[in-house]
Amino acid sequence: MVMRVGAFELYEPLPELKEPHVFAMLSPWINVGDVGKLVLSSLEAHFNARELGRIKRPGAFYDFTRYRPMLRLVEGHREVKIPNTFVNYAKRERGNDLIFLHCLEPHMFGEMLVESILKLLERLNVRRYWLLGSMYDSVPHTRPLIVSGIASGRELEEELRELNVNPSGYQGPTTINILLSEQAPRRGIEHVTLIVHLPHYTQLEEDYSGQYTLLNLICHLYGFSINLDEIKRKGEEQYRKIGRAVERNPRAREIVKALEMSYDAGMEERRRAESPPRLSPEIEKFLREIGKEFGSG
């Protein structure tokens, strides 16, 4: 048995979900190093996620000369895997249940796809929508990765700032799926975007440091007890190899050094902006004396 919700086909009976939160990734836009997919896969494995549904006719939105179907032999039989957007879910004993949305960026009828996703979120009584992704930036592999983000509510924004997530000031080309960030809050659904910034010269097929950085943030925010040691180790090993390659190339060393200087200057500027202004010793002494007088009175 199936149920149609917009362009999606969901398997019945639908699970009873407790005000679920959605973790979504969008490919290929904002998913360099496959970070979004890696993060969702880790969460799905930890929470034993199961399939909920997928788009019934993906050819309505996707050009299959750009997203190629894959032909596989399984036990001697030929199987065709058609690129699609699909949805998984996981139930938790406590806290909000989880939905995982693996979304391909549409080539056509993008507004219709966005509306279908919004209908899906409403039908499942979703309370929060996370878009998790990654982009290349002029940052060095020798420093902690930067994460930028936006949130639809002040409380969520403050929570992100406490975890050192930079506000996003991006302007430029984007995806039609960005309409979700505008329209979801109007329907009572909180929206958060987290983007990890990866060194532009690494170009890794799977960037484990990016995966670790985003997963670590999500675990802090939700209190998930996921062991990230192996992911962290793999990421550190990847970047050590990059470091060795950089050391063998004088021009690359100069570039990384310049990126380090720019990174450190930016961090110092941010620290100064966030710290309270320093008072002169005379003013501090005056305030202490005033405080003593009030205390004795």
Looking at residue 173, what is its pLDDT?
A: 87
Looking at residue 57, what is its pLDDT?
A: 97
Q: Is residue 183 within 8 Å of residue 120, measured between CB atoms?
A: no
Nearest Cα to Cα of residue 35 among 171, 223, 222, 235: 235
Which two structure tokens, joined as six digits, stand for 179? 């309409």
Task: For the chain, give every domain's residue range.
Answer: 2-248
Looking at residue 297, what is its pLDDT?
A: 44
Residue 33, classed as helix, strand or coil, is helix
Q: Which CATH architecture has domain 2-248?
A: 3-Layer(aba) Sandwich (3.40)
Which two structure tokens, joined as six digits, stand for 42? 């880790």
Q: What is the pLDDT along the chain (297 residues), one digit of tens a residue?
A: 889 999 999 999 999 999 999 999 999 999 999 999 999 999 999 999 999 999 999 999 999 999 999 999 888 889 999 999 999 999 999 999 999 999 999 999 999 999 999 999 999 999 999 999 999 999 999 999 999 999 998 888 999 999 999 988 778 889 999 999 999 999 999 999 999 999 999 999 999 999 999 999 999 999 999 999 999 999 999 999 999 999 999 999 999 999 999 999 988 888 887 665 555 565 555 555 555 554 444
User: What angle separates helix 229-247 from helix 208-222, to the nearest 10 degrees?
Assistant: 150
Q: Residue 1 CA to chain centroid, in angstroms?
A: 33
User: What angle separates helix 35-46 from helix 208-222, to the nearest 10 degrees?
Assistant: 50
Looking at residue 295, what is its pLDDT?
A: 47
Looking at residue 39, what is its pLDDT?
A: 98
Q: Is residue 33 within 8 Å of residue 135, measured between CB atoms?
A: no
The pTM assigned to this predicted structure is 0.88
